[in-house]
Amino acid sequence: MSDQNEPARPRVGVVGLGAMGLGMARSLRAAGYDVGVHDLRPETAADFAREGGTAFGTCGELAAAVDVLVGVVVNAAQVETVLFGAEGAADRLRPGAVFVMCSTVDPGWSAALEGRLAERGVLYLDAPISGGAARAAAGELTMMTSGSTEAYSLADPLLEAMSGTVYRLGERAGLGSKVKIVNQLLAGVHIAAAAEAMALGIKAGVPAEALYEVITHSAGNSWMFENRMAHVLDGDYTPLSAVDIFVKDLGLVLDTARPERFPLPLAATAHQMFLQASASGLGAEDDSAVIKIFPGVDLPKPVEA
């Protein structure tokens, strides 16, 4: 029997049931939380409700029912809609509730959001994530967080349920997003470099499978080469993270550096590669599809079932 003096567990909601958000919501359920959800695709929220969660028709309805609201949407514009759009969450969250923002956004925008929510009595955690869909489903994400002690005191157990590692980077919003920007610089450059290397090897006549085997056991390997070039070997460009995500994220990287007059030659080149892929009609494909910008490369074909 539970201790009657034990504090009640916070009620939690998740907005955005994409590749990351669905895994995070399931991890919270697995940790024993009652989880409410909202997604623009009602059928996705309904599927989660059949697993034991609760589906809400609007962000505002979900916000009114929870103590901690986790936003797992694509960009700042979508966060604005979640919070301040028609039937948004900001005016429905109770005073003292916490909004946990997991998107990759401009750090200055994130810092300003803390103040906008504070005017409504709502606490805020800047908490971008990394790790991919598999780690989200396993509750093993990396979270790069910053915010007030009060926000952490309510949200901490939920962060732990969704992640393998929670980095607490400071007491003000923006620091979490700054670290995520640096991470995305590396991630985007690594994918672009991996695609360039694989394309060169294939063009030079090296069998793709042999090249992958050697590189993944050599000093030139990276996590992104090993993960993304496996997609190329399979000829499968079903997006987990799309080309257009890195058009956005590397754009944010360059925007962050520009006021500092800080040069980012590798990030700028990688950004142009993803822009070229997007302009060629590949924006919705997996980010490994950036390899398709190289001419005359006979890429592996999908394995037929």
Q: Which are the catalytic amino acids?
A: 180
For residue 54, which amino acid is it? Answer: T
CB 98 within 8 A of CB 155: yes
Q: What are phi and psi of 244, to 5 degrees?
A: -65, -20
Q: Which of 193, 204, 145 is nearest to 171 (CA)?
A: 145
Q: Which two tokens stand for residue 177?
A: 């997003």
CA–CA distance from 276 to each of 58, 118, 166, 233, 257 (Å)?
A: 37, 41, 35, 22, 22
How far is 244 from 270, CA to CA, in rounded Å? Answer: 12
Residue owning tokens 């908490």: 127
Q: Which two tokens stand for residue 260?
A: 């500092």
Residue 192's CB is within 10 A of a number of other CB atoms, namely 26
CB 36 within 8 A of CB 53: yes
